[in-house]
Amino acid sequence: MQTLGIDIGGSGIKGALVDVEKGEMVTERHRIATPQPSTPQAVAAVVADIVRHFDYQGPIGVTFPAIVQRGVTKTAANVDKSWIDAPAHKIFSEATGQPVHVINDADAAGIAEMTFGAGRDVQIGIVIMLTFGTGIGSAIFHDRTLLPNTEFGHVPMPMKGLIAEHYCSDRTRQEQDLKWGAWGTRVDHYLSLMELLFSPDVFIIGGGVSKKFDKFAPKLRCKADVVVAQLLNEAGIVGAAMFAYEQAKQLG
Ligand code: BGC
């Protein structure tokens, strides 16, 4: 079964057709730069362009970097503020003429990693997936069940006076020109806090930084296993497509 997955990020909007049974993209990714300002109408026009590019009809999964409740985006940390309380599922469905299902970006990536990637063999216990990019996205699973919209990137870092994503996102690393070791120490502070709060068995580290895992892994001292995401930049698209496929099945 092939389903279209679209991943909306701060700099790019990417889509591909996904074989949801295999968890694999079956086309090249089609990427269009995120319009600035990233208003709902402008982003919806890009999503519609991607759907036309694939000449696709059927359920579409779309990730969004915000809390998403029943298709409505509730926050907008790194996108235009007009997304707060926007009915994203309706805006995208109208723009594309297809049923669109919207999910938080890290939740989508987590679903893909748990099914086809680094978490596929973890049957019981707590897994926390963290994606380090412009912000920090989170997805937590207990015995493989997702608790959605956790937003662990926004927890305040004790003694630092900052939320986590302003302390150790990949954007912060780049803006402050931190060496991998110095940044890894910050990530270690963050994982220690997560460990204190949730006692996870496994952390999955995703986002572009996962390619550089070897450079900062020596700084990580937590008790939980720390593993690197396997689907890399495909996780969001694959997870979005899986989510849409499941939602469409449930709705009949
Ligand atoms: C947003 C999250 C998102 C994360 C990664 C955060 O700023 O609040 O919803 O998952 O960035 O994109």
Tokens of 133: 């990019």
Q: Residue 113 domain-assigned? A: no
Residue-level pLDDT at 94: 98
- Ligand 1 centroid to Cα of residue 166, in Å, is 12
| Mean pLDDT taken over the chain | 97
The C-alpha atoms of residue 174 and residue 181 are separated, in whole angstroms, by 13
Q: SS3 of 33, please?
A: strand
Q: Residue 114 domain-assigned? A: no
User: Which residue range forms the structural domain that includes residue 12?
Assistant: 2-107+234-251
The C-alpha atoms of residue 7 and residue 79 are separated, in whole angstroms, by 14
Tell me if 234 CB under 6 Å of ligand 1. no
The C-alpha atoms of residue 93 and residue 113 are separated, in whole angstroms, by 27
Q: Residue 115 domain-assigned? A: no
Q: Are residues 153 and 167 in the same domain?
A: yes
Q: Are residues 207 and 183 in the same domain?
A: yes
> Over the stretch 181-230, which tens digit does the pLDDT of each residue have?
999 999 999 999 999 999 999 999 999 999 999 999 999 999 999 999 99
- Ligand 1 centroid to Cα of residue 252, in Å, is 30
Helix axes 235-251, 105-116, angle to 10 degrees: 90
* Closest ligand 1 atom number to CA of residue 138: 10
The C-alpha atoms of residue 122 and residue 99 are separated, in whole angstroms, by 32
The C-alpha atoms of residue 117 and residue 122 are separated, in whole angstroms, by 10
Q: Residue 158 domain-assigned? A: yes
Q: Are residues 226 and 125 in the same domain?
A: yes
Q: Are residues 57 and 95 in the same domain?
A: yes
Q: Are residues 103 and 170 in the same domain?
A: no
> Over the stretch 40-49, which tens digit does the pLDDT of each residue have?
999 999 999 9
Helix or strand (DSSP H, E) at 235: helix 235-251
- Ligand 1 centroid to Cα of residue 235, in Å, is 15
Q: Residue 73 domain-assigned? A: yes
Tell me if 151 CB under 6 Å of ligand 1. yes
- Ligand 1 centroid to Cα of residue 19, in Å, is 26
3-state SS of 26-95? CCCCEEEECCCCCCHHHHHHHHHHHHHHCCCCCCEEEEECCCEECCEECCCCCCCHHHCCECHHHHHHHH
> Over the stretch 113-159, which tens digit does the pLDDT of each residue have?
999 999 999 999 999 999 999 999 999 999 999 999 999 999 999 99
CATH number of 160's domain: 3.30.420.40
Q: Residue 187 domain-assigned? A: yes
Q: Are residues 42 and 28 in the same domain?
A: yes
The C-alpha atoms of residue 34 and residue 9 are separated, in whole angstroms, by 7
Domain count, the chain: 2
Amino acid at 176: Q
pTM of the model: 0.98
Residue-level pLDDT at 251: 86
Q: Are residues 102 and 160 in the same domain?
A: no
Q: Are residues 225 and 240 in the same domain?
A: no
Q: Are residues 221 and 135 in the same domain?
A: yes
Amino acid at 110: G
Percent of the chain that is helix, strand, coil (3-state, to 5): 40, 25, 35
Q: Residue 116 domain-assigned? A: no
Q: Residue 76 domain-assigned? A: yes
The answer to whether residues 50 and 35 touch, using CB atoms and an 8 Å cutoff, is: no
Which residue's CA is the nearest one to ligand 1's atom 11? 135
Tokens of 172: 């912060």
Q: Are residues 9 and 63 in the same domain?
A: yes
Mean pLDDT over residues 9-19, rounded?
96
Q: Which of 39, 30, 37, 34 is nearest to 8 (CA)?
A: 34
